[in-house]
Amino acid sequence: MHVFTSVWDNLPQPVKVVQPKPMEAFAQYQGFMLYRTNLVGHKSGRLGFTDLHDYGLVYLDQKLIGTVDRRLGENSIILPADGVAMPRLDVFVEAMGHINFAQQMIDRKGITDRATLNGMTLMNWEVYNLPFDEDYIAKLKTSQPDTSMHLLFFRGSFSLNATGDTWFDLSGYRKGFVFVNGHNLGRYWNIGPQTRLYCPASWLNKGKNEILVFDLLQTEEKAVAGKKEPDSE
């Protein structure tokens, strides 16, 4: 495995909006979305979201400040002062599946309403659609990314004399997706419980195969192993 490229080096043209809107407002129903604005009033303090669904990475001037996790009831994070006149705020949001019952049935993704800094509503955003569909993955271009900014793609290849149902072990990585020969195997997360993703034999080739790992948090390549069985636990 080696670092192949990053989301930062593969951003589409943004859509400009006054206030952030959920993914669905941009005809996107899965994947990721990047929200970007410049701070022209308050430059530091409590950044709050109403609401962020479901998992977000918050950057200030290209430095990762921290994460916001809906599972944990988190809806704010503290931005430090960095001395920049108009610091750039980036919020990278992952949609992690939809609630399908009761009052949460209408479960919008992304920043669903607004973001505030010390209670002041932040305005004038650029929004980048990142559906991570087959078309987006196929058009990724090679780069030499700044690994300290995370959101990296790792790529590798392997050869097979014969194909068979396989489980790929991602225990060396932290949180993301895996693609094998262009097929999305699904998500992994080092919080568990599983560390292996299933790949049917029909998605593998005799001879050369390619694996692509997108990780939100990992900054260095790790080996990926093929296994004959799912997790033993």
Give the end of a domain, one of 130, 162, 180.
Answer: 130
In terms of domains, do 38 and 98 share one?
A: yes
pLDDT of residue 35: 98
Query: Is 120 a member of any domain?
Result: yes
The sign of the dihedral angle between the CA atoms of 219, 222, 225, 231 is: negative
In terms of domains, do 74 and 170 share one?
A: no
Residue tagged 């093929």 (tokens): 226
On the CB side of 19, how many CA atoms lie within 13 Å of its CA?
Answer: 12
pLDDT one-digit tens code per residue, 109-131: 999 999 999 999 999 999 999 99
Q: What residues make up the domain containing 194? A: 151-227
Q: What is the CATH number of the domain that holds 96?
A: 2.60.120.260
The sign of the dihedral angle between the CA atoms of 217, 219, 221, 223 is: negative
pLDDT of residue 232: 61
In this structure, what is the dihedral angle of CA atoms 69, 97, 151, 36, given to the nearest 10 degrees? -70
Two tokens at 24? 């669905």
Mean pLDDT by 10 residues, the chain (233 residues): 98 97 96 97 96 97 97 96 94 92 88 97 98 93 96 97 96 96 95 93 97 97 94 64
Give the end of a domain, one of 130, 162, 181.
Answer: 130
In terms of domains, do 124 and 157 share one?
A: no
- How far is it, in rounded angstroms, from Cα 128 to Cα 183? 23
In terms of domains, do 112 and 181 share one?
A: no
Q: Where are the beta strands (DSSP E) in the chain?
A: 2-6, 15-17, 32-38, 45-53, 55-60, 63-69, 76-79, 88-94, 110-117, 120-121, 125-130, 152-160, 166-169, 175-180, 183-189, 196-199, 207-215, 225-227
pLDDT one-digit tens code per residue, 18-39: 999 999 999 999 999 999 999 9
In terms of domains, do 39 and 103 share one?
A: yes
pLDDT of residue 203: 98
In terms of domains, do 122 and 156 share one?
A: no
pLDDT of residue 6: 98
pTM passes above 0.85: yes
pLDDT of residue 103: 81
Q: How many domains does the chain have?
A: 2
Tell me if residue 10 falls in helix, strand or coil. helix
pLDDT of residue 82: 87
In terms of domains, do 20 and 83 share one?
A: yes
